[in-house]
Chains A and B, each alone.
Chain A
Amino acid sequence: MRPSPLPALLTLALATSAQAAPVVEAEPSRLVLGPRARAEITVRNAGAGLHAVVSTGTLTAGTSGEDFTRFFWTPAPEARAPTLVLFAFWTGESPTLADVTVLALPCAGRTELAIETEPTAQVTVEVAGARFGPRRADRQGRLKLPVEVGPHAHEARVIAELADQSKIRVLPLSLPPSPWLIGLAPESSVEGAPVHALVVVPDTEESAGTELVAEGGKVEREQEAGRRLFLRVTPEPGRSAVPLVARTLDGSVRAQKTLEVVRAVGPAAEPAPPPPPPPARWVLGGAVGGYVGGGSNAGPQGAFVVGYGLRNLPVVLELELGVRSQSLSTQVGTLGVQDSTLLLFPVELAVRWEAVSLGTFRLGVRAGGGLLPGSHHLSSNFDASLGEAVLGWEVFAAVQAGLRVGSVEPYLEVRPALSKVSTDHLEARPGGGVFSVGVRGELR
């Protein structure tokens, strides 16, 4: 005798309005666990952003059409115990219970009952309204009868018939509790933002109470309808994951899930197109060194250089503001010692051609000229001192070799220069060979 059909267990679960909730149906509406067990779940009336959660087993997306989305559910390979599988579907990231459709799929376990009764009795077993048998016991009154036990079964009624007698025995069935469902909306917390946790307790649950415990998070109850709860889970600062445990009040764990805390990922920042380089470039630099022009035409020198050029041209127009110093001290007959000191502040214009650029190596050629204003000072130990302003001139050509290091360019310069400073009391050529070590960089 086949067990009577179970009542339809497709639960369009909502106590409140399900108008916004998806419509879900399962085919078949009940299952017997085994290697080939599989259910097809069809979701209709779902908008974009459909979320699907299952309490056990694996839910995979199947084909989808314009007005439906299909999933396939398969139990865990080792699952044999009767269980009530819960599914929850909703759309959007901030659902309420009214937006959630819960489907319960009863999954029966197949087992073989070992029965001891009267010899040769005709035995029938009823489990949750389904009848198995009849089958006759052997002469010792033993038999084994395969039965299917659904998740709602609490007992098996064994009916033994012998001649005109009938005996009924009730065998209590102890079934493992069905797992609860935990769903998160959204599925992870962004930067510790609170998420909604949906907890659905199957109607097979016999223990009282429901609670959700978050290790490293704060749980607040938001909404409750029957055995369905919406809770608000807020991760503690600094947490990267928050384990969630749904359990009964006596501490029996029914479901576990981990809430991941993710860092906010901004929309992939499209690399900003590099700003077009300005058409002109400014170059700042400085150099120190010395010069040798014969006799006492020698001394230290330094310069500050400001350059301006077009970015697409290897030519830079430069203004050079420098300083040079030279002196002479000599015995004059029997009079005494005469000192002559010349201090100049060259102001020159030059054109620099960046002739060679190989890797970091740079070779440049310069040419220019300018004025050499300054002062000349005569002093001795036999007459009064004299200071006079001087103004000379210089023309030069130069070769520079440099290395580009990051945004700066150290360089060496050798400058043959023709220069002259002349007064009634002075004749000097503060040029000749000018040698410099410098560094420059472009302003960005």
Chain B
Amino acid sequence: MSRVPSWVVALCLTGCSGATLPPPTVVSVSPPDRAASSSGPVTVMLDAVLPTFADHGASSVSVDDRLTLRIGPRPFGPARWADAGVITDFLPSVLPQGSYDVTVELGDGRLSTATDAFRVTAGAWPVGYTIDTIPDQKSNIPFGVTIRAQGAPDGGYGGTVFLSVPGATVSPAITGSFAAGVRVELITVTVDNPGKYHLDVSDLAGRPGRSLDFRVGQ
């Protein structure tokens, strides 16, 4: 009868206990495709075992809920696991036409990629944008601006535009979705020097828009 080597017992004592956690899984992306000129919420459903440690002596459980989710190169969703892995976030019209991987990474480094899980189709863009007159503003004080898409296809433009104020910083950098070709956005402009500034907008296709100058004081 062969004798079980002692190192086998030791290996078992250390290695037969515990489990390696499986990688996370992207269960679904909804909607799975969208036109490049549209924006709106996207839902990514995830399945994962979060890194968990149960301490029965302390009657406590700790869970590492850190989460990194990307659609293509763009970060998506919160930085923490939420809503039982059903992640919904606003995706502006910033992705050109093409197929994009959806990548999820947990706090312990487990990573999973759903290849070509999100597809962006060709968009229908307006010819340009106008911005209603902006009265004088104060730096770092939010105010509203109305942006109008010109020459949009039927149904109006539903995408987003990039915002910029030359010589100053503006937040947010991307608007929300246009509705029927119009977007009223609450923005904050921060300037170092009071003076006259203007707001530039542009979409992914490069169609521009520019406001009249307006004064931003301290």
Q: Which residues of A contact B (CB under 8 A)?
A: 293-297, 326, 328, 330, 332-336, 338, 340, 342, 376, 378, 380-393, 421-430
Contacts and interface: CB of A to CB of B under 8 A. Distances in A.
Given A383-B50, A391-B17, A425-B53, A340 B84 contact: no
Nearest to B18: A423
Contacts of A385: 49
Interface string B54-87: 1111111111010000000000000001101100
A296 B19 contact: no
Interface in B24-61: 47-50, 52-61
Q: Residue among A297, A426, A429 with the most chain B CB within 10 A?
A: A426
Category for how many chain B residues contact A: 20 to 34
Contacts of B18: 388-390, 423-426
B17 A386 contact: no
A427 B49 contact: no
Given A333-B63, A391-B16, A383 B53 contact: no
Interface string B164-191: 0000000000000000000000000000
Interface in B85-130: 85
B13 interface: yes
5 contacts: A295-B59, A333-B65, A391-B17, A427-B55, A429-B56
B59 A423 contact: no
B141 interface: no
A332 to B, nearest CB: 5
A426 B49 contact: no
B8 interface: no
A384 B50 CA distance: 8
B61 A340 contact: yes
B56 A428 contact: yes
A432 to B, nearest CB: 10
Nearest to A372: B17
Q: Residue among B49, B61, B82 with the most chain A CB within 10 A?
A: B61
A424 B51 CA distance: 9
A342 B55 CA distance: 11
B57 A296 contact: yes
B12 interface: yes
Contacts of A390: 17-18
A389 to B, nearest CB: 6
A424 B49 CA distance: 13
Nearest to A384: B49
B21 A338 contact: no
Contacts of A380: 52
B60 A330 contact: yes
Contact of A426 (B21, B47, B48, B56): B56
Q: Residue among B48, B52, B56, B59 with the most chain A CB within 10 A?
A: B56
Given A295-B59, A391-B12, A335 B65 contact: yes
